[in-house]
Structure 1
């Protein structure tokens, strides 16, 4: 049982705010406060994990702090008791939890925890998220609202706007795209920035460039598509940002149709804006991907193509979660979506699949070192959530 009175003594600064019952204190010593136990009960041992950057475990009488939750980011906490405490006009629900070994235990406000075991095996990704594609609910995230460079993952927005123009009847797959720019030709021949070569005087269709941008992540193909969509590179980038605003994305800003940074694009006369790179948060990347696969589900079929020859050039899909690839796991049924890498952005990947009996899942890992292993770990973890069940 919890003491109904807290005696005068040492007090942790910010205790009331951490417990969710009042304003933060500004000192280490506080006046005695009365907490009334409204109700309490024993729980069947239930697993929880940290669901906030705040929170701490406290002693039974709440007179001293035992541990900050942020010090145990990958710990599964097991709750065995629950109590409702009243302080003034406020009530709070608390859980008595301990780690698996039982070496760390105490009382914590329930709002700082979420049901389910903690995710382990996500070591490298600086930003990540797992989204239920059906509902848009975020199942798990790390720095989910922190914008960071996303490299060629940016191309999912370019693909979306290309498909939007075609589906609206304002363009067709057979339209010939102007690829005569010296900068784009140079980019295609670049060892570090190239991918799909534009031959002088040769004609390329929207479909050819779409395949090159999607499968081979061709940067010059993506830029050429953007110019076809909006009339110029600058106009297309403004359209990217306008679309992000239409969707209510608060942590997304684009300066590049391809995902290359301006520090690279400058050599080809395709730099734009004052920022060096596209900056998008994991949650906003997942939202863009959700719109893409919801509005244009054909990308899921296209995303499973391992490689394709386009105008005599091999366009290889580097999604290594596809069938036949190194990180393939049959139960995950991965059918997309987009890889990305620059030294600044690190390895990035937005993946999607639909496990049997589950909702479709979208995952994003940004600035990773082991993007496919960590995506697979994240997918398997997210599918444990009851909200993902059909």
Structure 2
């Protein structure tokens, strides 16, 4: 082999080795610009389409920018979001083509391109993550718009007081009692309950006289347990007689999933210490649908509860009564369009956070919602209300 041939072979080998290294670098992604070019999706065709609602079809899929070089968000992170498509495009990647939709959420804060197969036409179905039981009911017709475990009876804590309020108002409005009637609050058990850090709220002070109206506001706004029990004794003559009256009223309304052992919603495990244990069961248990039916009777028969339910706070006997409904105007979870004006909160460790809400959106029937054992009772109530109002049957 001549010297020149040797030099040529060595040179050829070097160039071949260089070419191999370049190929390997590109394959490994070292060549940044080339990789971006290879990874990018190319638009073949694109058009504007009529705005159409979609929701996620499965756990798969994500939104990207049009070239797919940047992920916007995984669809699984927004399981209850309705996406609105306004553009359609055929995108090409390597040797494959696909139809993609340009979508955005309702507010327009999240938007991007997604393969059409990851979506399904229509608004997203509601899925309350935390509530163990829930219902949305048309207060005018009694129609159930949506429910989750709607006929399963659960502990309802102070939501029980809507039945106590109903029977109190029934006695007043029938003329058998008066707002100005003085209620016997001398019970040592009820005085101790008022002073209890865990079960109290409104204090029955020695020598003070409290009227039906005083205790009505204490039980309604501040969810006072001793006030509710004292009202029950005023209505029926004794705690036991009142609880029997609660159950009789539930039966008269045809409620099949409702049983009461307490005028306040406290469980017997707490009431025993104050001498107010009643019955063999530990707690009031009512299904979401039956709670909504009680609320419907209360609102329909005694509409003043809607006006009273909007009171944020009130002083009675120098004590501040605070309404814990955080969907009211000025509160953390207020949404103006929902016009929430009631109704009742509740909590015990056994029952969890419970809430009966009501409001009447402009142009719609009045709505009643119930969420039981819900860690996010106000946000999920708001979601439930917004969902229910989309039903055509709610139109006034």
Shared fold per TM-score greater than 0.5: yes
Contact 2:371/2:381 (CA < 8 Å) preserved in 1?
A: yes
Q: CA deviation at 1:48?
A: 10
Task: Give the alignment of 1:7-156 within 5 angstroms.
Answer: 102=117, 117-120=124-127, 122-156=128-162
Structure 1 residues 101, 340: closer, same or farther in 2, change over 3 A? farther
Residue number in structure 2 paired with 1:249: 255
Residue number in structure 2 paired with 1:367: 373
Residues 1:330 and 2:336 aligned together: yes
Question: Partner of 1:328: helix, strand, or coil?
Answer: coil
For 2:313 and 2:182, the matched residues in 1 are separated by 23
Q: CA deviation at 1:343?
A: 0.3
Post-superposition Cα deviations, 1:60-96, rounded to whole Å, max 9, x if no partner, equal xxxxxxxxxxxxx9799xxxxxxxxxxxxxxxxxxxx
Structure 1 unaligned segments of length 5 or more: list them. Answer: 1-44, 50-72, 77-99, 106-114
Instruction: Give the root-mean-square deviation of aligned CA atoms.
Output: 2.5
Residue number in structure 1 paired with 2:217: 211
Q: CA deviation at 1:277?
A: 0.3
For 1:102 and 1:375, the matched residues in 2 are separated by 32
Q: CA deviation at 1:102?
A: 3.4
Higher Rg of the two aligned structures: 2
Q: CA deviation at 1:116?
A: 5.8
Question: Partner of 2:373: helix, strand, or coil?
Answer: strand
Match of 1:179 among 164, 178, 185: 185
Match of 1:162 among 163, 168, 186: 168
| Greater helix fraction, Structure 1 or Structure 2 | 2
| Number of residue-to-residue matches in the alignment | 295
Residue number in structure 1 paired with 2:46: none
For 1:365 and 1:332, the matched residues in 2 are separated by 16
Contact 2:200/2:224 (CA < 8 Å) preserved in 1?
A: yes
For 1:187 and 1:380, the matched residues in 2 are separated by 39
Residue number in structure 1 paired with 2:206: 200
Post-superposition Cα deviations, 1:263-319, rounded to whole Å, max 9, x if no partner, equal 000000001000000000000000000000000000000000000000110000000
Q: CA deviation at 1:202?
A: 1.7
Structure 2 unaligned segments of length 5 or more: list them. Answer: 1-51, 57-78, 83-114
Q: CA deviation at 1:140?
A: 0.4
Residue number in structure 2 paired with 1:321: 327
Structure 1 residues 236, 357: closer, same or farther in 2, change over 3 A? same
Post-superposition Cα deviations, 1:22-62, rounded to whole Å, max 9, x if no partner, equal xxxxxxxxxxxxxxxxxxxxxxx99899xxxxxxxxxxxxx
Post-superposition Cα deviations, 1:216-239, rounded to whole Å, max 9, x if no partner, equal 000000000000000000000000
For 1:332 and 1:103, the matched residues in 2 are separated by 32
Q: CA deviation at 1:387?
A: 0.4
For 1:335 and 1:124, the matched residues in 2 are separated by 23
Match of 2:245 among 225, 236, 239: 239
Q: CA deviation at 1:203?
A: 1.1
TM-score normalised to structure 1 length: 0.72
TM-score normalised to structure 2 length: 0.71
